[in-house]
Amino acid sequence: MKNCDHCGTLILEDNGECPFCAEAMSHAVETFAPSAGPPKWLKVVKWLFIGLLAAVLVAVAAVTWILNSLGPMPSFG
């Protein structure tokens, strides 16, 4: 018996692979810090918000550019 070098989990076989670390490695891509990290939906909402903000900025920039390009033209009034 030995303890895992990484997480300290007790491993029955001396040359055995730590089950906790093996599972953590397989899940490392989707959840970097499973216990302490923020929930997944929060990340999705954050990126959704950033995307919405970017879309609004692009829309405002487009409207501003259109208004500026129309500016020199004589008004219809």
What whole-number distance in Å separates Cα of residue 63 and Cα of residue 57?
A: 10
Query: What contacts 24+ positions apart, CB below 8 Å, involve 68-77?
Result: none
| Contact flag: residue 7 with Zn ion (CB under 5 A) | yes
Q: Where do runs of H (alpha helix) occur along the chain?
A: 19-27, 40-70
Distance CA 46, CA 52 (A): 10
Choose between 26 and 68: whose C-beta lies nearer to Zn ion: 26
Q: Which of 12, 15, 16, 18 binds Zn ion (CB under 5 A)?
A: 18
Contact pick of 2, 3, 9, 60 for Zn ion (by CB under 5 A): 9
| Contacts (CB under 5 A) with Zn ion, residues 20-39 | 20-21
Contact residues for Zn ion (CB under 5 A)? 4, 6-7, 9, 18, 20-21
